[in-house]
A and B are shown apart, each in its own frame.
Chain A
Amino acid sequence: MAYDIEVNGTKRTADVDGDTPLLWVLRDVFGMTGTKFGCGMALCGACTVHVDGAPTRSCITPIDSIGDAKVTTIEAIGATEAGAKIQKAWLDREVVQCGYCQSGQIMSAAALLASNPHPSDADIDDAMSGNICRCGTYVRIRDAIKLAAQSNRQGG
């Protein structure tokens, strides 16, 4: 059947089975390829989006569970305060290598920063350990989150 969902502020319709993961609706039906496929089992975090602000693995989230919730993806996260700070910190700290996992890393980090403006190392471990980076950018991700949090401290 057809499902109407709101993605990045726009209502969109997908005529798919209700158990179809949100990831494939975004990528293959809507053509929004910024959200990435990594494992299909919520083990790697590459597919992370926000559903009503909560970081969510879209690869195991069926489309029929979305209802009226608002979906935000990497394509629009820069319009949020936390997302913009994280993106800027990512570039300032030159986090990215191959970049494939970074959509998911940024979505997890933006959700962390939005809910916890001054995360500790343990908070960062908790929020980010579900996101795998094979290029091994973890040291810089940690630094960049702290840099983004610092701009919170300065009221920026």
Chain B
Amino acid sequence: MTRAHPMAGASALSRASSAIGLSRRGFLQAGAAAGGGLMLSLRLPLGPCDAEADEARDFAPNAFVRIGRDGQIVLTMPYAEMGQGVYTSIPMLIAEELDVDLAQVRLEHAPPDPKRYGNPYLGGDQLTGNSTAVGASWQPLREAGAAARAMLVAAAAQRWSVDAASCGAQRGEVVHVPTGRRLTYGELVADAARVPVPEKPALKRPEDFKLIGTPAKRLDTPAKVNGTAVYGIDARPPGVKIATLSQSPVFGGRLKRVDDAAARAVKGVRQIVRLDDAVAVVADHMGAAKKGLAALVIEWDDGPHAKLTTGDIAVELESAMLKPGAVAQNIGDVADAMARAVTRVEATYQVPFLAHAAMEPMNCTVHVRSDGCEVWVGSQALARAQAAAAKTAGLPLDKVTVHNHLLGGGFGRRLEIDGVIRAVQIAKQVDGPVKVVWTREEDIQHDMYRPYFVDRMSAGLDDKGMPLAWNHRFAGSSVVARYIPPIFKNGLDSDTVEAAINLPYALPNLRVEYLRVEPPGIPTAFWRSVGPSHNVFVTESFVDELAAAAKQDAVAYRRALLDQAPRARAVLDLAAQKANWGQPMPAGQGRGVSLQAAFRSYMAHVAEVEVSKAGAVRVRRVVCAVDCGAPVNPDTIRAQLEGAVIFGISAALHGEITLKNGRVEQTNFDTYQVLRMDEAPDIEVHIVASAEHPGGIGEPGTSAIMPAVANAIFAATGKRLRKLPVDPAALKRPA
């Protein structure tokens, strides 16, 4: 992928060496604790003089590396840590080239500043999402480390009056190899700051990597097992009040009137805040705020969507598909090929709205003053959070300080800034800082949801059962069209159709059409594995249907279409082999496979399921083979796949948000069920050795597992499920 933002490389390195503002100092940090481990702490801003004086003496050759005279190495993290391990994998990239140990570094979260910290894979917007962090950082952040190292080495060589080529670096020291003389990086800070930033620093050869490719202990975890890690919800600026809120239960509705007499009588309740479409109770603690909220008598004007149901939306999507859509990909001549086909297969698929339900409910802490605004939040989109706060507060951008925190799960939810806007709206009416915490019910009922999609598939097979024609038309919301309007063009965007097009299979005639249909009365958003979360379920279920129609083995059928896709074929072979594909299974059990090329990574999953007589589905075992390019932290790759599989099975078996009378029917984890320990399968992950540019890993396992489960259910029961989540009633067998 091309870089859409010129941040990377030497030009940006020199530009970024300018003084660093105060705000940078106030972020969550991982630092060396007294005991030698790493700890995370929220460091409050220092006085401006202190901060500037400190930083003037630092060696800061670029926006990512800063070394103090005391030798303290600070790495600035451009991506948010939400469990995916970037607070370890990104430091590994820098530390590898800087020649320091991970134990020697302290982490700071980057301030909102897209010019320096924009994501080159996502148009330079300062976003953590779409499984891009490691791939987008692979070149520029290794270069950031290498440039700093080269400058430190040059400074030492000058000091010793020797050739820089005779010097090396290790563990934070420059070594003059012939004499064994050493200088620590801290001792070289002043001199190194005067060395010109190298245009194109040399990078290590992969065979010389000491960190990259070797499982590393995560830097963020010690603080997460003893209660000291600080998430957005844990921010406690002095004097903070706690608020919780009720937003219009129907999207687009308004607040009509509130009787707050009983709420104001609750001990600890300080204030009731009325907004156009919400009401909040501000209190000394969340217990009082919730009790106060429950005591409010609220009347809503439900607005235009008062009668909306999910069924209405599905009908609208189905009728939209009577018309042709925007052509996302066209190969050959599908109509002609369909006419020549010996067998035709047709199917309609549907996937539901889904909530994110991150464990940390939505929250944001804000202090609005007449001359500025301070925000404490965990965000995947820090610069957007800052801009939204500024706009809502009516302040210029430079008067808004945003402190990012660890995220208690993101999954796409924290790419949105609706929670920041809400909190600033409330804070504008409150004297002093206020932390707005959503109840779980509010979090689920006012999420922004993975879109509902309807897909119509048809295929024509030749006399051997192989596909001649592949025709896919689908309708649903484009999140990109709202979130990044410029890249929605000609009725299409790259995310909504990802993995519906550019299939790994050799399909001689293929046509994929998309119809953008925005559902009324329900907001949509990115959800872990985004476009593929829907497309891969459809395409990999349908390939399975074709194999069944051709009376062929599901792996062999796919394999026959992969002559031109060696990386895809290799993961398919590996997963099949490790899963004992083809070995018989007991009655009521079955194996299903899926193959996916998405997020610049390849993966194959084999799921084993057991279906009870009552139709209950239990996933017992999952085998995953992945080629995600050069592995940076292999243990994180395993962990991300294990987690993505659980996330995907939760959705496939249980996940569904429905509307009735314009209201989301699900409220909490009793009605929006997710997988628990007693439902979790055994999961095996096999990583293919590769030297390719790193691909994504946080999301792809979620989209890939869903069709594997559906295909396994077909193998176990002979019943093809074309609608998620799985309906046990459809799988019930006669007693």
Contacts and interface: CB of A to CB of B under 8 A. Distances in A.
A42 to B, nearest CB: 10
Contact of B635 (A19, A94, A100, A128): A94
Interface string B661-689: 00000001110001111101011000000
A97 B85 contact: yes
A94 B440 contact: no
B682 A35 contact: no
Most chain B CB neighbours (cut-off 10 Å) among A20, A35, A128: A20
A74 B222 CA distance: 13
A132 B85 CA distance: 20
A135 B643 contact: yes
Contact of A134 (B222, B406, B674): B674
B182 interface: no
A12 B735 CA distance: 59
B670 A41 contact: yes
Nearest to B648: A136
Contacts of B55: none
Contact of B227 (A24, A73, A129): A73
Contact of B411 (A28, A44, A134): A134
A103 B675 CA distance: 19
Contacts of A96: 83, 218, 220-221, 224-225
Contacts of B677: 124-125, 128-129, 131, 138, 141-142
Given A91-B222, A128-B677, A139-B642, A37 B647 contact: no
Interface string A127-150: 011111111111111100000000
Q: How large is the interface on B (under 10, 10 to 19, 20 to 34, 35 or more residues)?
A: 35 or more
B522 interface: no
Nearest to B635: A94
Given A124-B677, A136-B642, A136-B675, A100 B409 contact: yes
A92 to B, nearest CB: 9
Contacts of A27: 285-286
B558 to A, nearest CB: 26
Interface string A72-98: 011100100000000100110011111
B411 to A, nearest CB: 7
A139 B242 CA distance: 36
Nearest to B216: A94
Given A17-B288, A128-B677, A33 B234 contact: yes
Interface in B404-426: 406-411
Instruction: Please classify the interface of chain A as helix (H, G, I), strand (E, B), loop, or mixed, using the class held by over half of its residues.
Output: loop
B404 to A, nearest CB: 14
A24 B285 CA distance: 6
Nearest to A63: B287
Contacts of B231: 36, 100
Nearest to B622: A139
A133 B650 CA distance: 11
Given A134-B411, A138-B646, A75 B227 contact: yes
Interface in B333-365: 357-361
Contact of A90 (B225, B286, B645, B674): B225
Nearest to B358: A134
Contact of A17 (B84, B291, B359, B678): B291
B228 interface: yes
A85 B642 CA distance: 24
A16 B267 contact: yes
Contacts of A40: 290, 439-440, 668
Nearest to B217: A94
Most chain A CB neighbours (cut-off 10 Å) among B287, B288, B357, B406: B287
30 contacts: A16-B285, A17-B267, A23-B286, A25-B285, A25-B287, A28-B285, A36-B359, A38-B360, A39-B668, A39-B669, A40-B439, A41-B440, A41-B670, A43-B669, A44-B440, A75-B228, A87-B225, A94-B217, A94-B635, A96-B83, A96-B220, A97-B84, A98-B82, A98-B360, A101-B408, A124-B677, A136-B646, A137-B642, A140-B639, A140-B642
The 3 closest A-B pairs by CB, nearest first: A34-B227, A136-B646, A100-B408
